[in-house]
Amino acid sequence: MTPNLLLFTNGHESTWPSIEYSTWMATRMQARLTLVGLLETPEAESNVEEIFGRAVSLFQESGLSYTLQLETGLAEDVIPRKAAEQTPTLIIVGPLGRPALKRFLVGRSFRHLMAEISQPILYIPVARIPLQKMLICLGGLEYGLTAEHLGVSVARMVGASVTLLTVVPEVERDYPESQNIRAHWKTLAESDTLPGRTLRKAIQAALQSQVTVRVITRQGNAVEEIRAEMKAGGYDLVCMGSPYSAHGLRQMVGPNVTAEVAESAECPILTARFVAQETKTAS
């Protein structure tokens, strides 16, 4: 089935990197691309018209199959509605150039989008092209494999290498399992722990897809350690999970962690909601 990418712009220049990146990605995925212009204010129409013109030129130069749409309303309302109506493979958004622009995707609005939208969301503050190095953050529980499956699929299509990151968090209560995890955090993939078993499944899935993979484990605060690895590794894309629909279970790569990481990100962030069937298949 042909992938369908749903991209949003309100006409602000800050959304142009997401258009460039989406064009590059859709070309390599042989996907259809729908660009939705958000008329959030009466003054937005001329800006959307101008950026539509530039986008169409880029799409045509790339030989891309595309559709243009206009919608009136705020992004927080329009994006979930369009996602439900069109059931795209991927939702793509960028900074919308509002005052304190990062609040849209890294504060309550971002958590709102992840809660309301079942499809993966790709946030693009900067277009890092080509995609050569990908970081996939695993939260230790099996629902993190949803993000891993998506990331590996993208890596296979574009020929990128993958780094699997697991952060062993600080824990307040000293259970036997937490003791075991802390004792083996440097060799987590070899341990008989839940994060260790999850990591082995992720490694196996990457190798089966013929994707080059390496493993990094860190210990400490999840947000700080993910940011540190992003800075050290110079990754072109970071893939993180969201536990929405996992009965409210909060784990390392929860929506708050994803939002905080996205706030300072200098590369695209891909979030994938938990899908139970995928984790069953993986096991």
Share of the chain above pLDDT 90, in %: 46
What's the average model confidence in pLDDT over 232-240? 94
pLDDT tier, 145 (very low <50, low <70, confident <90, very high otherwise): low
In the predicted model, is pLDDT for residue 171 greater than 70? no
Mean pLDDT of the chain: 82
- pLDDT of amino acid 242: 67
pLDDT tier, 182 (very low <50, low <70, confident <90, very high otherwise): low
Element (H, E) at 162: strand 161-168
Angle between helical axes of 222-233 and 255-263 (0-180°, round to 10): 40
The pTM (predicted TM-score) of the whole model is 0.84
- pLDDT of amino acid 69: 97
The domain locations on the chain are 4-123, 133-282
In the predicted model, is pLDDT for residue 228 greater than 50? yes
Residue labelled with tokens 């008989």:
192
- pLDDT of amino acid 112: 74
Are 4-123 and 133-282 in the same CATH fold? yes
Report the C-alpha gap between 71 and 29 in whole angstroms: 26
In the predicted model, is pLDDT for residue 282 greater than 50? no
- pLDDT of amino acid 100: 57
pLDDT digits (tens, 9 = 90+) for 1-36: 788 999 999 999 999 999 999 999 999 989 999 999
State the virtual CA torsion across 8, 13, 14, 18 in degrees, nearest 10.
50
Name 140's bridge partners. none
* Domain 133-282, second-level architecture: 3-Layer(aba) Sandwich (3.40)
Assigned token pair, 216:
């990094």
pLDDT digits (tens, 9 = 90+) for 44-71: 899 999 999 999 999 999 999 999 999 9
**For residue 269, which phi and psi values (nearest 5 degrees)?**
-120, 125
- Could you give the 3-state DSSP secondary structure of residue 170? coil
The domain 4-123: what is its CATH number?
3.40.50.620
For residues 251 and 239, the model is more confident at 239
Share of the chain above pLDDT 70, in %: 78
Phi-psi region of 98 (alpha: psi -120 to 50; beta: other; left: phi over 0): beta
pLDDT digits (tens, 9 = 90+) for 103-135: 555 445 667 777 788 889 999 999 999 999 999
